[in-house]
Structure 1
C-alpha cells in the first residue's frame, strides 16, 4: 500500500516538474500535436520592436509578407529548450534543402539575462543561420508574459523553484498577414508536418 502511494506521489511530483519550462499551454487542454489549426482563435502577431542577437532592431513589420515560425526559449533553460532549439535548427536545414522561404524567430523568456551577446553565443552553439533566424530580446519579463498571452494564448511565468520559467514548447506558424494559423509540437523531431503545410501554403506542391 505504501509502495503504491509512493509511486502515485512520485508521479504527481514529476507532472508538476514537467510543468516548468512550459509543458502546458492554455490554447487547449492538451499539449500540441503536429499540427493544430489555430485559425478559429483569431490570433495575430502583435506589434513589436525588439533586439536580435546581432543587436539589430527587428519588428513585426519585417516579417510581413512571409511565413514565420515562432517559438519561445531561454539560454539557461535546463530542460525542454535543449530539445526545442535543435529541432528548430533541423527545421531550418530542412527548409533550406527544400528551398522553402520562411523566417524563424525565437523569443527569449529570460530577457534580463539573455542579452544579444548571450543569445548570439546560444545560437552559435546550435549552428543557427542568422540570415532567416532571429533570437529576440530587449523587453521586460512582464512584456513577454503579456505578448505570449495576447499573441499565442500561452503562458510565460517563473516556476515555483525560481530556476526555471514556464513557457510554451510549441512552434507557431504565422502567415504573411501576421495571423497565427497553426501550432506544432516543438519537442517533436519530425519536421515533415511543418514542411508539408508550408509547401501547401506556399503553393509549391
Structure 2
C-alpha cells in the first residue's frame, strides 16, 4: 500500500510538472475601455487591433531620466526572451504619459535607442490629451499618469500589465526593479495556451 501511494504521488508530481498547458490564473479583472491612439509609425492602433492577442502594457515618457529607460530596457529584455522561447502571439503597448511632447517621431527615435528584437510587435502610443491619459491610466490600469504643471516631470506607475486576448488586465508586475521576467514570460505563454 505504501509503495502504491508513493508511486501515485510521483505520478501526480510528474503530471503537474509537464508543460505549462495554460491554466493561467488571473489576479485582476480590469476591462480596458475602447481606445484609438497613434503609434510611433504614425499608424492608428485601437483596442480592436489588439483583440485576440495577449499584450504587455506600460506607461513611460521619453523625457524621463529615471524609471522609463530602465523599464523600456526591461521590456525589450522580456521581448528577447519571448523570441528565444519561440512565443509569437503577443504585442507590447507603451502608452506615453507625456503626449504633448511625445509625438510619433519622438517615440520612434526613443525606441531606436534600445535593442528591440521585433519593433513590429511594439506600439508606443500617443495622440491624446494629458487629461485623457490621466483618466485612461486610472480607470483601466489603476495607475497614475499625472504631469507636474511646474516642470516636465510626469508621475506615473512603474508596473507592467498583462492583458488577455479580450482586453482585460489580468495581472501586473514591477517593471522597474526586481522585474520577474521569467514569470512574465511563463504567464504570457500560459495565457496564450489558454486562448487556443
Shorter-normalised TM range = 0.7 to 0.9
1:152 aligns with one of 132, 141, 158: 141
* 1:32-181 equivalences in 2 (<5 Å): 38-39=27-28, 42-100=29-87, 101-128=89-116, 129-159=118-148, 162-181=151-170
Could you tell me which runs of 5 or more consecutive residues in structure 2 were left unpaired when the two chains were aligned.
Answer: 1-24
Q: CA RMSD in A?
A: 1.8
Question: In 2, are the aligned partners of 1:172 and 1:182 still within 8 Å (CA)?
Answer: yes
TM-score, normalization by structure 1? 0.77
Question: In 1, are the aligned partners of 2:55 and 2:162 still within 8 Å (CA)?
Answer: yes
Give CA deviations for 1:89-111 in whole Å, capped at 9, x if unaligned.
10111111111121000000110
Aligned to 1:23: none
TM-score, normalization by structure 2? 0.80
Question: In 2, are the aligned partners of 1:75 and 1:122 still within 8 Å (CA)?
Answer: yes
Q: How many residues align?
A: 167
Query: Aligned partners of 1:163, 1:118: CA distance in 2, in Å?
Result: 15
Matched, 1:196 2:183: no
Question: Highest Rg: 1 or 2?
Answer: 2
User: 3-state DSSP class of the match of 2:42?
Assistant: coil
User: 3-state DSSP class of the match of 1:99?
Assistant: coil
